[in-house]
Amino acid sequence: MKFKMNKKLFLIFSFVVFVLAFQFNAFNTVSDKWFANHQRDSEGLVLGRLIETSQNGFNSKGGFLLRQLENVKDVGYTSNYPYMINTEKSGGGYIQSFGFQGYFYGVIDKFLVSNEITSLSTRIFVLKFITSVLVASSLLILLNFFIAYYGYVAASAAVLLTLFSPWWIVFSNNLYWMLFLIVLPFLLNLYFLQKYESKQEKDKAYKYIYISSFITILLKSLAGYEYISTILISMVIPLVFFAIKNSWEYKLFFKRFIFTSVAGLLGFVSAIVIHLQQLKSFLGSYDKAVDLLLFTILKRTHGNPETMKDPLMIASLKANVFDVLAKYFNGDMFGGVKFWYVIVLLVLLSILVGTIIKKRQLIAYQSIHKAIQVSLWLSIFAPISWHILAKGHSYVHGHMNHLLWYVPFLLLGFGYIGFATRVIYENFGKLFKIVLLSIIILSAGIVSAVQYYNGSKIEKAPLIFSNDKFRLNVKGNYMYVTLLNCRDFNLDTRFFLHLYPVDNANLNAKTDFNNADFNWSDSKKYAIYNMLSSNCIRQIRLPNYAIKSLNMGQFNAKGRVWQQRVNMQNEKMVKEVVPFNLSDKNWTNGIRHSQAMFFIENTFENRQSIKVGDLLKFSHSGERTVSNITYSEKYINISLHGEKLSPELDGYPKPVLLENMEKNNE
């Protein structure tokens, strides 16, 4: 498969489509809602700093990023999902990192204001656009590398697969995460090794690599310590590739590997020193600065759960590493495709291409394929390292850390898919076309079967409503809306979903319901229309409190097209619950030390089954009446009338029986 292509035009085209995707989600890789709202809380820290800097200078409030206060207002950045910012003042500092973002974007923001660009929405757009451009420019280094060593098919595959990678797209212009800083240590080292590979002054490459490794790791660490193990490992992968390709001596490789690693570690340590000095100035002493930094590290890694107060932090530190890893291997890459599916595909392609090269004695491919393979499969340890070393962080941040698969494992994997396609086509020609067509048909069949299977699983989940048009099931903390024949609905018409809580105190709004209106395209796709079923299913996240009823339908400019009211309190969904398995200074076996209270996992079934006034029966303490219920994202705290419970005799794993309604009403 030979392509005659102008490299400059290819790179310019790739840059343009990257910027369009990163800044505007131009190819609809993700829903508009996800693209607009992903990690806005983190980005709000940067905007809080910029507002503070514009009012009081770079070093006010320690120079840290700043949290958002209430009394926010729409600054006009987007229309469908307004950007809500407190433009008057900011809250306390986010002191867990130095806050390099505030200085970097602060300088640009000052420049914009000095040139009479005062609209905050315009300034946000420009800052995010610059971020998109920097991320796109960084990826050109990788494409240039692919063109040189993998071929244009690989580079094209990398462009296409990156454009349709949801996790990459939603991070690409975020002001807090500065995605270009996450990949630059890897990409700059790749750039210098490629640039000076065949030149007489190639020793210069290593001087640049050591300097680059120090500076890029320093800047990334000053912008936050997240993902640092992944980034440090990714940084040395280019050395592995060129060492194998060019047959470096082991001694020479280890020398360059150690020097590069030390340079990166020095950058990391230097960032910690700078951050400690900043904390000392802000907190008043080095002891306080060191204590805060150690606490931050321990709560995100493998610290003592008994030192934590937040139940989620406690659970994260108690979590099994293998369970955390399983969460990320089973994560949704796109459209129901799990990350482990892609890993298996890369394994199969590696075996197939390796066999072709060996059997057909393709000498021209042998050394380059070996270099590609070793660097690819070593790079998988970059994301895995963070999930192991920072287990606590990955447990809590399942809505973010799937990004790590791309640094640099999937970026290299995308290129390898293109490389493998090229090798197979060049050696099998017509047979390749037949095999490719068969794979496409087989894949379509498998995807349809998987979606049909997913739909059948939902059918078996607890049913809360069903008629001849749609069905509502619940599983975990999600409700699944199944339209029984997609063709009967106009999916472009907006859906309304009003959730009425048992206790209105759980609402922050003036209305008596939680407005969860949605566009069908915005809600998470669970299963789509396919040849095996006319159903289409969407996953909707439910609030963490008990719901009395819901009203759902569709509406347009003329009014409501259809609606259905559903009573959610017909019967209890569980007959018993078990106190949560947690013990610390305040709780033992899920039982509160200081008062008659216990807590359970917050699931839909649990919260729908218990309400204030209900009668519960404990193994030792007998019957107790529920006096109050509070909900958090993960747990339900249940207060009771009467004396304190017995942690040993009433707590985990003893069941708590939910008395039936008939007895409750006697």
* CA–CA gap between residue 252 and residue 269 (Å, rounded): 26
3-state SS string over 283-296? HCCHHHHHHHHHHH
Strand-by-strand arrangement of the 478-483 sheet: 463-466, 470-475, 478-483, 536-541, 524-527
Q: How far is CA 395 from the centre of its chain?
A: 11
Dihedral of alpha carbons 5, 7, 13, 15, sign: positive
What pTM does this model have? 0.73
Tokens of residue 159, six digits: 């462009």
pLDDT, residue 516, reads 83
Q: What does the alpha-carbon distance between residue 159 and residue 15 come to, in Å, rounded to a whole number?
A: 9
Q: Cα angle at 169 between 165 and 175, to 5 degrees?
A: 155
Does 137 score more than 90 pLDDT? yes
Paired with 471 in beta bridges are 466, 482
Are the C-beta atoms of residues 267 and 216 closer than 8 Å to each other?
A: yes
Rounded CA-CA distance 97/223 in Å is 7
Q: Which of 392-406, 420-434, 546-560, 610-624 has the lowest mean pLDDT?
A: 420-434
Q: What is the H or E stretch that residue 93 is in?
A: strand 93-94
List the single range of 72-81, 579-588, 628-637 with lowest mean pLDDT: 72-81
- Residue 15 CA to residue 245 CA, distance in Å, equals 28
Give the pLDDT of residue 171: 97
Q: Which residue would you say has higher pLDDT here, 74 or 121?
A: 121
Quick check: 666 pLDDT over 60? no
Confidence of residue 530 (pLDDT cuts 50, 70, 90): very low
What are residue 175's phi and psi, to 5 degrees?
Answer: -75, -25
In this prediction, residue 456 has a pLDDT band, given cuts at 50, 70 and 90, of low
What is the rounded CA–CA span in Å between residue 515 and residue 536? 23
186-225 tens-digit pLDDT? 999 999 999 988 766 777 789 999 999 999 999 999 999 9
pLDDT tens digits, one per residue of 399-412: 899 999 999 999 99
* Predicted local confidence at residue 584, as pLDDT: 84
Q: What is the mean predicted confidence (pLDDT) over 559-564?
A: 90
Residue 571 has pLDDT above 70, yes or no: no
Beta bridge partners of 480: 473, 539
Tokens at 403, concatenated: 């990004």
Q: Does the pLDDT value for residue 529 go beyond 60?
A: no
CA 376 to chain centre: 22
| Local structure of residue 403 (DSSP, 8 states) | G
Distance CA 531, CA 324 (A): 35
Residues near 643 by beta carbon (within 8 Å), at least 6 away in sequence: 596, 621
Q: Give the E-state strand segments of 542-642 in sequence order.
A: 547-556, 559-567, 576-577, 587-588, 591-592, 597-601, 615-618, 622-631, 635-640
Average pLDDT, the chain: 87
pLDDT at 513 over 70: yes
- Kindly indicate the confidence band of residue 445, based on its pLDDT and cuts at 50, 70 and 90: low
86-96 residue pLDDT tens? 666 666 789 99
Q: How much of the chain, in percent, has pLDDT values that exceed 70?
A: 88
- CA angle, 141 then 144 then 150, to 5°: 125
Q: What average pLDDT does the segment 587-614 reach? A: 90
Contacts of 93 (CB under 8 A, 6+ apart): 61, 62, 64, 65, 66, 67, 282
> What does the angle CA 310 – CA 316 – CA 318 come to, to the nearest 5 degrees?
105
Residue 443 confidence class, pLDDT cut points 50, 70, 90: low
Q: How confident is the model at residue 450 (pLDDT cuts 50, 70, 90)?
A: low
Residue 651 scores a pLDDT above 90: yes
pLDDT digits (tens, 9 = 90+) for 79-127: 556 666 666 666 678 999 999 999 999 999 999 999 999 888 899 999 9
Average pLDDT (571-590) is: 87
How far CA 162 is from CA of 47, 149, 155, 328, 341, in Å, comes to 28, 19, 11, 19, 17
Higher pLDDT, 568 or 665: 568
Beta strand spans in 426-558 (E):
463-466, 470-475, 478-483, 494-501, 514-515, 524-527, 536-541, 547-556
Positive/negative CA dihedral, 376, 380, 383, 385: negative
The pLDDT tens digits for 268-292 are 999 999 999 999 999 999 999 999 9
Q: How many residues are given for the chain?
A: 666
Average pLDDT over residues 156-170: 95
Query: What does the pLDDT look like over 472-484, one tens digit per residue?
Result: 888 877 888 888 8
